Chains A and B, each alone.
Chain A
């Protein structure tokens, strides 16, 4: 058994490494046959990874629930892959593969840490995927989406006011609300509405005046989040706003001004808010505040260090000693048992997903949808950067989840929907050229 775990950790690294390499070689393959072969081998790797992971989980901690979860996940992968092939033959299967691979890693790690959470995560992901299948149709039918500019802003600000009220009442500890056992994280919803607002505002009019209005509304979003102590989401919004404005205007002055203003705001926030200073202190020297705000970071660093290059092997580490290991600190838990090499491959998979989204955005003709896709993609990428950077003490911890991998219903569902929107836009864009490109797409 011990030997098997030792072999398995190198297998995991090998699987993900091959998967990541396939992501990038796809870039250089022109022939459809080759591309199809790449996608096919990625799917095989996906099943192998899930199989190996759950084999170890079942050996170490057999339960009917874990077995059912494993079968459910296999079924989910199969249905999702087949569903896209049947319903949307021109979907980007590369996007689907990457999404499923990241979900797969998340399922394994969460199931290893906490079976109940894994089951919940799985059900929510499956539900989210059902919604995801409808999204391309919705986008097609609802042309009005691009004209709802101020409705998005209204929903966004209103939702964030709820978050702020919750934060005020709970002293910053609580940023979500529970309705009938389901926890809703409003900031996840606002990730969508803010991007839709900016895209629709700037697609219609990218004059200086319009940019200033858009930036002011976005700044309100960011400001409310800073007050709510949700610094991670605030930063994600800030960066997404700058990127959308830059792409919409193609004027490099805006991002430069934006970054300068953002830096000034960061300094001001540091001076004004104790919770910001606390995070910076905990980042600079977490051991000095070990008993309070440094504890999490230190435990995360111990886990990453214990993992070393190749990890301890599944079930041979102690990732449960990290607080919120399945959420904000899941990257540390992965580092511990899968090792740094695996995590670097994981980062490359995330990066390829972002580059894929950028390329999709570029291919979209409609300004509004182009901005939506680049905005959502940027939110994804920057969130990965914040959480991984925070856990590894590269930047101060901002308390944000690793999309698709961390446990958290709102987070996983919103990411799946984000990707579904991008996918929907890609499918529509793709269908446009279909008549000229008979053998395009993946059948």
Chain B
């Protein structure tokens, strides 16, 4: 009995020969196998209560010498353990069942530790994302504890802040008034824009935990975190003023990162005074000022859709070289006649020329060559009819062409009329993928979140959203779009210190009075070798793309690049 504690030795001495005989002599069986009365008579006086009979002696005492009365001594320390290797020896009979116990204790102990670790992990890593869910109604309860944080542009301009007046009244102030109206949004009547989807970050304080505890005790509000957006204040202003009085939208983003740099929608509103004019605004159905046309406005794409048609052609024929067409200014199919814009006759042209001059008749011919299913497949690959990646509320573009559609609808769709509808944001994403070798980066609006005192809380990681086309296709389309600027409808943008590639569009639509109007489109990107800006412009009822949207884009780029 070399490994016993001293108290056990005392017990053993008391037990004397009796136990020693049992332990070393007889083969011990497990007690459970014994149905008879106790082997050890001297125990009758040990029962509970006063009445003791033999029947209660169900416990084998052969092993008692190994245990003192500690009720909490489950696991022997290691030295004790190692000596118990001789499982089969009778002397270890009392201890051999400890193996499973030790193992079970460790296994279940680990389960509990895992739970504790998971709870810690949850609070460190998962909590913020889960709480930011729009389903979380607890956010509103935060407003008693946290003062809404600031929203900044990436270049440091304050886009929204909370002023506190004497007596504790708070007011949300938007220094740029209408300029950032839709993208930054509002909190006065519901929430929209960054104010809505970054609500959790704005209403959460990552200030020093000690300060927070002190503030909690003093019932003082903590300063919410600052949300620094990807928006460029100068670019936004340039876009805002360049669009002028037109209804419409401008989207500017960085194709290599996915950062949304500017987003304008007109008509708009002043978020500072929105509460005062709210009733008036929502009761008048003709004033759709609250709609963010950039992400929610659905427009016919006009000739900007020829980008998709050209891609479908390239996918079918693997080159643009084989195409040749003699434009007579019109193209008749059944009883329907396609005209080039303003009846222009383009004459003999290759695909580059047809694209650069936006020849409708040539693209009608291409539509017939492709057929419904090829065009549909390409459109779907460019994210028509699916939910777009967006932090803001956005509409999915509509793709109406099916395999059952007739040839009239096919040719109309091929040059961008038909029943197709797109958002300016979607066109910007398509062009962004072309500029970035076919890869669409996930667009985002929050660059990073910092505490009110400027310490970094979290930074958005750039990520690839999807490869929309392969690099070869992107390169081929890029060349076509450069031709539009070099020799085609966006020639105004040529000869700058930066290179521009793009596509104009003049999208006809039917006004509510039945007359026909034309939306003016331009989509494009700068510096194809190292693209830094993607721009999409639509001016409602602005006429030909080259006459309105291109000058608007030109003005924005001039402001950004300085000439």
With A and B bound together, what is the CA distance between A244 and B161 in angstroms? 63
Distance in Å: Cβ of B325 to nearest Cβ of chain A: 49
Check B61–A358 contact: CB distance below 8 A.
no
Q: When the two chains form the complex, which single residue of B75, B98, B109, B135 contacts A351, counting CB atoms closer than 8 Å?
A: B109
Query: Does B33 reach chain A (CB closer than 8 Å)?
Result: yes
Check A340–B32 contact: CB distance below 8 A.
no
Query: Does B100 reach chain A (CB closer than 8 Å)?
Result: yes
Task: Bits for B48-63, please: 1 = Cβ < 8 Å to A, else 0.
Answer: 1100000110111111
Check B46–A431 contact: CB distance below 8 A.
yes
- CB-CB contacts below 8 Å: A342-387 with B: 343-344, 347-348, 350-351, 354-356, 358-371, 374, 378, 381-382, 384-385
Check A355–B131 contact: CB distance below 8 A.
no
Check A431–B48 contact: CB distance below 8 A.
yes
Q: When the two chains form the complex, which single residue of A140, A252, A287, A394 contacts B115, counting CB atoms closer than 8 Å?
A: A394
Residues from chain A with Cβ under 8 Å of B108 in the complex: 351, 354, 378, 381-382, 385
With A and B bound together, what is the CA distance between A429 and B30 in angstroms? 16
Query: Does A116 reach chain B (CB closer than 8 Å)?
Result: no
Check B70–A30 contact: CB distance below 8 A.
yes
With A and B bound together, what is the CA distance between A335 and B123 in angstroms? 11
Check B119–A432 contact: CB distance below 8 A.
no
- CB-CB contacts below 8 Å: A387-443 with B: 388-389, 392-394, 426-437, 440-441
Which of A205, A344, A361 has the most chain B CB atoms closer than 10 A to its own CB?
A344
Task: Bits for B76-118, please: 1 = Cβ < 8 Å to A, else 0.
Answer: 0000000000000000000011111101110011011111101
Query: Does A301 reach chain B (CB closer than 8 Å)?
Result: yes
Residues from chain A with Cβ under 8 Å of B116 in the complex: 344, 347-348
- CB-CB contacts below 8 Å: A137-163 with B: 137, 140-141, 143, 146
- CB-CB contacts below 8 Å: B16-46 with A: 30-33, 43, 45-46
Which of A140, A302, A356, A362 has the most chain B CB atoms closer than 10 A to its own CB?
A362
Check A6–B216 contact: CB distance below 8 A.
yes
Query: Does A26 reach chain B (CB closer than 8 Å)?
Result: yes
User: Smallest CB-CB separation from A30: which chain B residue?
Assistant: B70
**Known contacts A298-B133, A308-B127, A351-B109; is-contact A368 B59 (Cβ 8 Å):** no
Check B115–A426 contact: CB distance below 8 A.
no
Check A362–B101 contact: CB distance below 8 A.
yes
Check B32–A368 contact: CB distance below 8 A.
yes
Check A434–B114 contact: CB distance below 8 A.
no
With A and B bound together, what is the CA distance between A430 and B525 in angstroms? 85
Query: Does A109 reach chain B (CB closer than 8 Å)?
Result: no
Check B101–A428 contact: CB distance below 8 A.
no
Query: Does A225 reach chain B (CB closer than 8 Å)?
Result: no
Binds A, one of B136-144, B148-156, B327-335, B512-520: B136-144
Query: Does B210 reach chain A (CB closer than 8 Å)?
Result: no
Check A434–B135 contact: CB distance below 8 A.
no
User: Smallest CB-CB separation from B98: which chain A residue?
Assistant: A362
Residues from chain B with Cβ under 8 Å of A103 in the complex: none
Check A394–B114 contact: CB distance below 8 A.
yes
Query: Does B47 reach chain A (CB closer than 8 Å)?
Result: yes
Check A344–B120 contact: CB distance below 8 A.
yes
With A and B bound together, what is the CA distance between A308 and B98 in angstroms? 40
With A and B bound together, what is the CA distance between A91 and B68 in angstroms? 15
Distance in Å: Cβ of B37 to nearest Cβ of chain A: 10
Check B59–A88 contact: CB distance below 8 A.
no
Q: When the two chains form the complex, which single residue of A26, A88, A310 contacts B72, counting CB atoms closer than 8 Å?
A: A26
Check A358–B105 contact: CB distance below 8 A.
yes
Query: Does A272 reach chain B (CB closer than 8 Å)?
Result: no
Query: Does B64 reach chain A (CB closer than 8 Å)?
Result: yes
Distance in Å: Cβ of B135 to nearest Cβ of chain A: 6
Query: Does A27 reach chain B (CB closer than 8 Å)?
Result: yes
Distance in Å: Cβ of B120 to nearest Cβ of chain A: 7
Query: Does A290 reach chain B (CB closer than 8 Å)?
Result: yes
Query: Does B11 reach chain A (CB closer than 8 Å)?
Result: yes
**Known contacts A309-B123, A392-B122, A434-B46; is-contact A250 B96 (Cβ 8 Å):** yes
Query: Does A223 reach chain B (CB closer than 8 Å)?
Result: no
Distance in Å: Cβ of B437 to nearest Cβ of chain A: 31
With A and B bound together, what is the CA distance between A143 and B47 in angstroms? 14
Query: Does B67 reach chain A (CB closer than 8 Å)?
Result: yes
With A and B bound together, what is the CA distance between A94 and B11 in angstroms? 25
Q: When the two chains form the complex, which single residue of B14, B113, B130 contacts A301, counting CB atoms closer than 8 Å?
A: B130
Check B112–A27 contact: CB distance below 8 A.
no
Q: When the two chains form the complex, which single residue of B32, B48, B213 contacts A140, counting CB atoms closer than 8 Å?
A: B48
Check A140–B104 contact: CB distance below 8 A.
no
Q: When the two chains form the complex, which single residue of A203, A363, A370 contacts B67, counting CB atoms closer than 8 Å?
A: A363
Distance in Å: Cβ of A41 to nearest Cβ of chain B: 16
Distance in Å: Cβ of A428 to nearest Cβ of chain B: 7
With A and B bound together, what is the CA distance between A308 and B60 in angstroms? 51
Query: Does B510 reach chain A (CB closer than 8 Å)?
Result: no
Query: Does A246 reach chain B (CB closer than 8 Å)?
Result: yes
Check A365–B63 contact: CB distance below 8 A.
yes
Check A321–B111 contact: CB distance below 8 A.
no
Query: Does A304 reach chain B (CB closer than 8 Å)?
Result: yes
Query: Does A115 reach chain B (CB closer than 8 Å)?
Result: no
Query: Does A3 reach chain B (CB closer than 8 Å)?
Result: yes
Check B219–A2 contact: CB distance below 8 A.
yes
Residues from chain B with Cβ under 8 Å of A368 in the complex: 32
Check A359–B55 contact: CB distance below 8 A.
no
User: Smallest CB-CB separation from A355: which chain B residue?
Assistant: B74
Residues from chain A with Cβ under 8 Å of B30 in the complex: 367
**Known contacts A243-B104, A250-B96; is-contact A360 B71 (Cβ 8 Å):** yes
Check B73–A428 contact: CB distance below 8 A.
no
Residues from chain B with Cβ under 8 Å of A364 in the complex: 59
Query: Does A136 reach chain B (CB closer than 8 Å)?
Result: yes
Check B69–A246 contact: CB distance below 8 A.
no
Check B47–A431 contact: CB distance below 8 A.
yes
Distance in Å: Cβ of B554 to nearest Cβ of chain A: 44
Check B115–A436 contact: CB distance below 8 A.
no
Distance in Å: Cβ of B179 to nearest Cβ of chain A: 34
Task: Bits for A57-75, please: 1 = Cβ < 8 Å to B, else 0.
Answer: 0000000000000000000
Residue pairs across A and B with Cβ atoms less than 8 A apart, 12 shown, are A94-B71, A305-B127, A343-B119, A348-B112, A362-B101, A366-B32, A370-B32, A385-B112, A430-B71, A432-B61, A436-B11, A436-B15
Closest 8 A/B residue pairs (Cβ): A367-B32, A359-B74, A440-B69, A203-B32, A351-B112, A365-B59, A365-B60, A92-B71
